[in-house]
Amino acid sequence: MGAIYETKRSFMKKFFYPLSIAVFGVADSQRNLAKNIVSNCRDMGFKGDIFPVGRSRGSVNGIKIITETDELPAGIELAVILVPAPYVAETLDICGRKGISHTIISTAGFREYSGKENRFEKDVLAVVKHHGIRLIGPNCIGVICTNSGLCTPFNPLRAKRFKKGRISLVTQSGGVTVQAAHLYSEEHVGFSKVISIGNKLDLNEIDYLEYLMDDEDTEQIHVHLESIEDGRKLIDLARKIDKPIVFFKSNVSVTSAKIAKSHTAALVNDDRIVTGAFRQAGIVRVKNIREMTVCAKALHLPPLSGDRLAVISLSGGFSVILGDACEEYGFKCPSLPRDLLDEIESFRRGGVVRMANPMDFGDVHSIEGLTFAVEHCLKLDYIDGMVLALFYDPEIAKLLGQGSDDTQQMLDFLNATMSAYNKPIALSFLSERQYIEEYKRMSPFPVFNDPVESIQGLRTNRNYWKKI
C-alpha cells in the first residue's frame, strides 16, 4: 500500500465525507430540483457547510442562495452540479478556479441521449483535464452516505428514514439507487453508502471498489451495473477484496440493450463470460434487488461450512415445505440422536407431534424447550447450521404469559448461541406482516421474510464460503 494508493484513498474519501459542499443550480421555486439536495443533506444530518448557488436571489432551507460565484469561499470540498447540460462545463470551470477538485454531475443529456460523445461532454472533459477535477456521473444522483449525512439525490427523499448499516452499494441507475436505499432500510440491513455512478465519464466501478475495499464502514460491497468497463480489471480487483461482493448485472438481454444505451450509455457485455468470470472471482451473482437484501442478511451471519442443517418449525406444514426447500438447495437434514429428541419431546404439551429433522415444534409452547433444542442441535458436530421458522402470535404469547421481553431474550439468546458455535441460524417468523416487521426491528441479527427465503439465504452463505 504505497503513498499513491493512500493519496487516492484520502482523495476519494472527500466524495463521501466532505467538510463543505456547494450545490449548483438551486432556485427558490417550487419546481426546482437542486434545492432538494440541500434539504436531503440537512434531513440526513449532514453537519458540514452547504453553499447553494443559483442565478436568482432567494434562500433554501434558510440558507441564502449565492448568485455571484466570487462570494463562494475557498476550500469547498465537493460540488454537486445540476445545471442544464450546456452550462455544466462552465460550472466546472468555476469549480476549478475555486479549487474544488471533487464534483458530482447530476445533469443528464450527455452521451446517453445522442448515443455518442457530444459537444457538452467534450467541453466537460476539456475543463476537468485542465483543472484536474474528478467527477461522479454525469446523469446520476450521486451519493447517499449514512455516516456523514451527505445525501445528494435531487428528488425529495425522506432521508431520515434511511437506516445506517455496513453495506455499500454501487449502482448505475438513479431509480435503483433510491429504491435500494428504501429497501435496504425497510429490510433492516441498512447501508453505509449508496453511489449512483451514471455515465461513468470519469470515475467508474473500479475506483469505487478500490475505495470501498478498505472503507472501515463497509462490510459488504453490493454492485448494480448495466455495463462493465474493464472486465479483466474488475475480476483482478475482486480477487483482492476480502469482503463479500454481491453483483446484480442488468442489461443482459437484447431487449434491454437499446434501452440501457439510451439510459446510461451502457453497452451490453457477453453474459456467459460475465457469469464464468464472476464465479472465478468469488462474486455472488444475483438477479434482482430483493435478492441483494437476502444476500446482505445471509452474509452477515456466521459462515455455513457444510450442507447439514437442523430445521425447526412451529408448524408441521412448514416443516414439510422446509424439507422440500432444503433438498432443492442441496442441503441435508441428518437424523438427530434419539436421546436428544426424547429430551426435546419432554417439553411437549399435547404430545401429538413426533420429533424428527425437520422438527415440527407445533405443540411445544415453551421457550425453554425451544432454547434447549436450538443449543443442543447447533452444538452437534455434524450440524453446520440451523433453520428456525417460529410461529409467533402476540395473542398466544400473552396466553402463555410471555411478553416482548421474552421475545427480546429469545432473540438475544439465538444471537449469542450463533456466535458461541460460529454457525448460522436462519430465522423467519410465521406471523402477520406487522409482527414480522416488529421482530426484524428488535432482532440483533438479520431476520428473513419467510422460511423459504431463509434457506435461499443459507445457500448463498454456503456457496460464498465454499467458493461454489
- DSSP-assigned letter for residue 334: P
Length of the chain in residues, anyone?
A: 468
Binds its own copies by CB under 8 A, chosen from 121, 205, 215, 226: 226
Binds its own copies by CB under 8 A, chosen from 350, 381, 405, 467: 350
CB closer to its own copies, 29 vs 67: 29
**Is residue 328 a contact residue for its own copies (CB under 8 A)?**
yes
Contacting range for its own copies; rule: CB under 8 A; set: 16-24, 89-97, 276-284, 395-403:
395-403
First-to-last alpha carbon distance for the chain, in angstroms, is 30
**Is residue 67 a contact residue for its own copies (CB under 8 A)?**
no
Contacting range for its own copies; rule: CB under 8 A; set: 92-100, 272-280, 327-335, 413-421:
327-335
* Radius of gyration (C-alpha) of the chain in whole angstroms: 26
Binds its own copies by CB under 8 A, chosen from 174, 369, 385, 446: 174
Q: Are 359 and 319 in contact (CB under 8 A)?
A: yes
State the residue for C-alpha cell 438481454: 253
**Is residue 224 a contact residue for its own copies (CB under 8 A)?**
yes
What's the rounded Cα separation, in Å, for the pair 44 and 62?
Answer: 16
Strands 309-313 and 284-286: unpaired
Q: Are 224 and 171 in contact (CB under 8 A)?
A: yes
**Is residue 70 a contact residue for its own copies (CB under 8 A)?**
no
C-alpha cell at 358: 425437520
**Is residue 273 a contact residue for its own copies (CB under 8 A)?**
no
* Interface with its own copies in residues 196-215 (CB under 8 A): none
Contacting range for its own copies; rule: CB under 8 A; set: 2-10, 210-218, 321-329, 419-427:
321-329
Least distance between its own copies and beta carbon 86 (Å): 12
Count of residues touching its own copies (by CB under 8 A): 82
User: Which among 232, 336, 218 is positioned nearest to 274, based on CA atoms?
Assistant: 232
Q: Are 138 and 104 in contact (CB under 8 A)?
A: no
- DSSP-assigned letter for residue 162: P
What is the contact mask toward its own copies in residues 354 to 393, using x (rule: CB under 8 A)?
Answer: x-x-x-x-xx---------------------------x-x
CB closer to its own copies, 101 vs 319: 319
* Interface with its own copies in residues 115-154 (CB under 8 A): none
**Is residue 321 a contact residue for its own copies (CB under 8 A)?**
yes
**Is residue 276 a contact residue for its own copies (CB under 8 A)?**
no
Least distance between its own copies and beta carbon 222 (Å): 14
C-alpha cell at 99: 479549487
What's the rounded Cα separation, in Å, for the pair 429 and 110?
Answer: 48
Binds its own copies by CB under 8 A, chosen from 100, 108, 212, 299: 108
Binds its own copies by CB under 8 A, chosen from 179, 404, 419, 422: 179
Class of residue 181 by CB neighbours under 10 A (exposed 0-12, middle 13-18, buried 19+): buried
**Is residue 222 a contact residue for its own copies (CB under 8 A)?**
no
Binds its own copies by CB under 8 A, chosen from 103, 171, 218, 454: 171
| Helices H / strands E in the chain, number of each | 18, 19
Binds its own copies by CB under 8 A, chosen from 45, 58, 109, 231: 109
Collapsing DSSP states into helix, strand and coil, what is residue 54?
Answer: coil
**Is residue 288 a contact residue for its own copies (CB under 8 A)?**
yes
Q: How many alpha carbons fall within 13 Å on the CB side of residue 182?
A: 7
What's the rounded Cα separation, in Å, for the pair 9 and 13?
Answer: 6
Binds its own copies by CB under 8 A, chosen from 260, 298, 370, 447: 260
CB closer to its own copies, 66 vs 81: 81
**Is residue 56 a contact residue for its own copies (CB under 8 A)?**
no
Binds its own copies by CB under 8 A, chosen from 254, 272, 339, 368: 254
Q: Are 38 and 63 in contact (CB under 8 A)?
A: yes
Q: Are 243 and 237 in contact (CB under 8 A)?
A: no
Helix (H) or strand (E) holding 223: strand 220-225
Least distance between its own copies and beta carbon 318 (Å): 5
Least distance between its own copies and beta carbon 99 (Å): 30
